[in-house]
Chains A and B, each alone.
Chain A
Amino acid sequence: MNVALRVIPAALLGLTILASSLFPVSAQTGTIAVTAQLLDYQNGYVFLTTGDGFRVLPAVAIVDYKSGKLAGPPAPRQYARLTFDQTGTVLKIELSKAKLPPEGDLDAIRRRFAVALSTPVPNPDLGPTRVTSPCANVRPGKSVSLNVTVQVPPSTPLTDTVYMTTDQSGWNAQAYRMDRRDALHYRVQLKLLSGTVLHLLFDRGSMQSVQLGENGIEQDPYTICIGDEDAQTFTKTVYHWADQQAGASLPIPQTFPTPYNPAPFPNLPTPQPRPT
């Protein structure tokens, strides 16, 4: 009994300390403040982008965060500092168009005060075994350096430029010019946001000279998910170019009209030695 008398007050005290650390309660008014982004404000509720709704005092004070002056009704996208009373009712909404510094424990506020009719049910979609998207577990929005290296066929003309074309640039065949790295390789570096799913192919300046598969049939675009590490590398091999025939030997018109010339040197001087 004595033990219980000692433990229970101690536990209550501990819980009080823990609660006070979780919720920054104003010493004077007993209110709790938190900053968040707004989803909606209607019918006596304010909704946050977490999807949670909170009761609002009918006479709630809606003011501008910076000036403290009265402000219009809250709207989606706006940032706000919400002040709750001890029952979870929002007493004050301070609005801002700019992102506000984090304040309060939003998760704890949600668990304690959010209003929802139905009992929470686990979502089997969110189980780790069900996630199949290549970008499913990537934290989006981080700037990531992507280093792309491609090995080209030895028949690639020395004077040609190699490009990378992507769905990100509307499949513009000259969107990303690559730099020669050595006799068989080209590279390009670019910055992309993590979470981006990129489809890409390599070409020599137009889609008529886009890469083909090893079997000579057109190559389906590669897919890369930009992860959330600082840098990512992507290396591929081009086997053939679409404008280079298999075992090519016949002259192909480079410009139009093309003077037909079966001899290997198109620019022999004049007078040209002619076979007789």
Chain B
Amino acid sequence: MRSLLYPSARNLRAAVCVALFLAGTLPSAAGAQTTNYQGADLRGAHFQKARLAKADLQNADLRGVDLRGADLRGANLQNANLQGANLQGAILSGANLQHSNAQDAIFTDANLQGANLESGLFYGANLYGVNLQDADLRGANLQGANLLRTNLRGANLLGANLQGVKRSIPVVLAFATPRPGPTQAPATPAPATPAPAMPAPATHTMSAETILGALAPATPAPATIRLNASRVEFYYDRFLVEADGNVRVRTSDGLVATGDTFSMDLKLNRFLLAGHVHVSDAAGSQDGAAIADFLDFSRIYLVPLTRESQNATGIPDRWTFADGDFAHPLKGREMPGDTFYFPDLGQAKPYLVGTSAVIGSKSFVRFGGGRFDAAEGAGVYIPVPTYYINFSADQHLGDNSLAGANYDATWEFAGNAHSISALHFRYDTINKSYLSFEQHLSGPKAYAVFSVNPMTRPSKFWDLLLSDRPSDKTQVRTFTQLHTFQYGLSSPLESQQVTTLQLTQALHGSYLQGNYQFENFSLLPLGCYPMTPGNTSDHCTVPFHPSNAQISLQTFDRPLTPYFHGARVYEHLSFGFGFQHEAFISEANPAAALQTLGGVPYTTIWQHTLGLEVFMPDLKFGPDLNVPTKYYAINASFQKQRQWNSLPHYIDTTQSRISLSKTLDSHWLSYLDYNVQNVADIYGPLQSTIYPPFTPVVNGVTYPGYEAFHGIATFRTLSFGLNYSNGGNFTFNLLARKHTDFPAPIPFFFQFATPDVLGNFNVQYFLGQPPYDVTAEVRMRINPHMSIDIQRSYFFNYSNLRWSPHFVFQVMQ
């Protein structure tokens, strides 16, 4: 009952306050020192121009209250609710707004110098023109707040959320302010411009923008430029956006400019607008011949037609605006020589033509209402409603989760600085042509990728990749793949899943890694799911659910020897400990055990490994070790690893490798490589039991040599490689190999290793490979962004196999 009455009592108190205020007895500044509104419900009160200095408003409910022009110097507003309150022009210097809720409040032109806003909620608040000098904004949420013209000098923004804030131009734009000038302006010679050079970043003044850029812990939105014109063109090979006719440019700083011609170099992050330029913002405007904005350096260069004289046509001048200070143009200051240069486009054809673009500084460009050149250079334009191109240095936006394909044309139809949505038009020899979808999200420390591939085939792979880097020395990554066999989004006939989790911790001189992986060979209830009624062989579940985990440690590469002929020997060690487990074992499914030995089914096998790698890159010998064509290089490596298992056996893996290479001239190089791999599965006294003597008979032919195989295989490969490269425009590779393996290959006895769609063999240790093969590869660049790769192998009539079944044909973009 008391709790129900309590708010009413507060309301009553507020009403008394309002009455006192209206009666002119509101506490004076002196009296305010003792004013106590702690926890009061003051909603609906009017404190316009009230003197509330040092008032105690802790936990007060001030939602929607009118505090315009109020004097709240040193007031205690800790935990106060100021949601939607109007504090325009209020004086809050030294006030305590810690943990206060000022969501959507209006602080326009208020003075909060030295105020404590720590952990306050200022979501969507209007802080236009507010003085926040030396204020404490640690951990404050300023998402979507208006910080235009806000003075943040000396403010502590550590941990503040500045996502989506309207960025600050610290002082008033004063283009239009008329100033006294000579009645007849002298024709002063223009300054001689020095050789083209980029100005250095300003370091002498710390603007609010700089503070935002430096401290924003989340992902601050990049400066954006919205461009509209009669024709907007994009030149992919040079990352140029060019626009002509009725150009209108609007920047996220609130600058609006119109003109005849626009040019922006996305990589240099600077733009130029020329021809009847009119620049304006809320505070004023200026006409001129051209304006150039060097975004990286906070420098804007303007060629104005000044109105400082009575001359109706104006006089040309040169103004530089530094750090967004539009009120104080640096008149006559020399400018970089290429400030107003247009790029020479020659006869180049644009990759994309449209009428509008949104450019995210150093990150992306999104075109609207355009058409792009599908043949890249041939001028075959396909209309698209929108087209997005990412050119940021954030590699995670390119992190793919799609399997390889022979051809992939990507339409990135939506995106911004931190996300891309893309449709892939793909072709591979297994799935033929199909569509896939991929979504990327990326921030400074974490990223995520989701994809469906192929989207238009029944056998679909749903991938989700997540990564987070909580510190520079720690990283967590997970990958989950769900496979479904389903038509459209109908009930699946098959469903499998695999998930991996990886945690990496960097240490001094080594790193520790934990890996966990589990697979579900079927997510459906046990049984068969026929495509056609009565066909019980279709899509039956497989009752396997294996998992494994491992903790491993690997040391950094450490030199073992001093330099000798430009080379030294390095080593690193690795150690791992883990297990493999298969839980789904029953009488009905005895084969599900990982392995059965001596009649004992093993559902869990513990393992530990120890590995050593020693290698020596580039031991050179020849008459001149500084000229690549005048020396030979030897590269060598040796790897040895032993894996002990709780099921009593161990696996030794040894690889020795040496190569001799020679650069013949600036185009040609060749190498000779010899590689020996040895894999031994050792069971000790049980060796002959596990790997019993066995004589294969294939097509009526007996192969007694196989009798010698007891679980120890050796693969020897001698390779000769020849490579020609003409500056990347044309590449030719020839690889001839001789394999001497034990056990020797027997046609039709071993399975063939199946290459992926790109012609790569994923299995390293492979029994039964053809003894000879030659692979030729030709790669041609057909334009600056596309090349074609064609390769094929010849197997010298091994079991009637001459040529590889088909060409590997890949278009690379």
A246-B552 in contact given A118-B331, A121-B334 (Cβ < 8 Å): yes
Q: Is B381 an interface residue (CB 8 A)?
A: no
Q: Is A145 an interface residue (CB 8 A)?
A: yes
Centre residue among A52, A114, A161, A246 by max chain B CB count within 10 A: A246
Chain B, interface size category, equals 35 or more
B613 engages A215 (CB within 8 Å): no
Which of A43, A49, A175 makes the CB contact (< 8 A) with B313? A43
Q: Interface 1/0s, chain A 148-165, versus B by CB < 8 A?
A: 000101110111110001
A216 engages B511 (CB within 8 Å): yes
A122-B578 in contact given A165-B395, A255-B762 (Cβ < 8 Å): no
Which of B339, B342, B511, B751 makes the CB contact (< 8 A) with A76? B342
A167 engages B475 (CB within 8 Å): no
A63 to B542, CA, bound (A): 82
B399 partner residues in chain A, CB cutoff 8 A: 171, 207
B727 partner residues in chain A, CB cutoff 8 A: 145, 189-191
Which of B199, B303, B472, B507 makes the CB contact (< 8 A) with A126? B199
B802 to chain A, nearest CB (A): 20
Which of B296, B502, B580, B609 makes the CB contact (< 8 A) with A247? B609
B522-568 interface (Cβ within 8 A of A) = 542, 544, 546, 548, 550, 552-554, 556-557
Choose the segment among B85-93, B138-146, B351-359, B632-640 that binds chain A (4+ C-beta atoms closer than 8 Å).
B632-640
Q: Is B171 an interface residue (CB 8 A)?
A: no
A117-B192 in contact given A76-B275, A183-B659 (Cβ < 8 Å): no
A75 engages B675 (CB within 8 Å): no
B319 partner residues in chain A, CB cutoff 8 A: 118
A75 to B764, CA, bound (A): 64
A258 to B580, CA, bound (A): 14
Q: Is A234 an interface residue (CB 8 A)?
A: no
A125 engages B574 (CB within 8 Å): no
B241 to chain A, nearest CB (A): 14
Which of A51, A191, A196, A199 makes the CB contact (< 8 A) with B393? A199
Closest to A145 in B: B727
A264-B765 in contact given A75-B275, A117-B316, A189-B728 (Cβ < 8 Å): yes
B544 partner residues in chain A, CB cutoff 8 A: 260
Q: Dominant SS at the B interface?
A: strand
B723 partner residues in chain A, CB cutoff 8 A: 179-181, 187
B638 partner residues in chain A, CB cutoff 8 A: 154
A188-B393 in contact given A160-B760, A246-B553, A249-B576 (Cβ < 8 Å): no
A86 to chain B, nearest CB (A): 14
Q: Is B250 an interface residue (CB 8 A)?
A: no
Closest to A159 in B: B761
Which of B289, B598, B675, B726 makes the CB contact (< 8 A) with A42? B289
A117 partner residues in chain B, CB cutoff 8 A: 181, 185-186, 188, 306, 308-309, 315-317, 331-332
A116-B554 in contact given A217-B472, A260-B582 (Cβ < 8 Å): no
B193 engages A51 (CB within 8 Å): yes
Closest to A199 in B: B393
B552 engages A247 (CB within 8 Å): yes
B812 engages A177 (CB within 8 Å): yes
Q: Is A34 an interface residue (CB 8 A)?
A: no
Choose the segment among A5-13, A18-26, A268-276 that binds chain B (4+ C-beta atoms closer than 8 Å).
A268-276
List 14 extra interface pairs beyond A158-B717, A190-B728, A260-B582, CB under 8 A.
A43-B314, A44-B313, A53-B190, A112-B189, A116-B316, A117-B188, A118-B318, A123-B334, A179-B733, A208-B401, A245-B513, A257-B498, A265-B767, A273-B694
**7 smallest beta-carbon distances between A and B, as pairs:** A171-B398, A120-B191, A118-B332, A125-B199, A53-B316, A247-B574, A130-B200
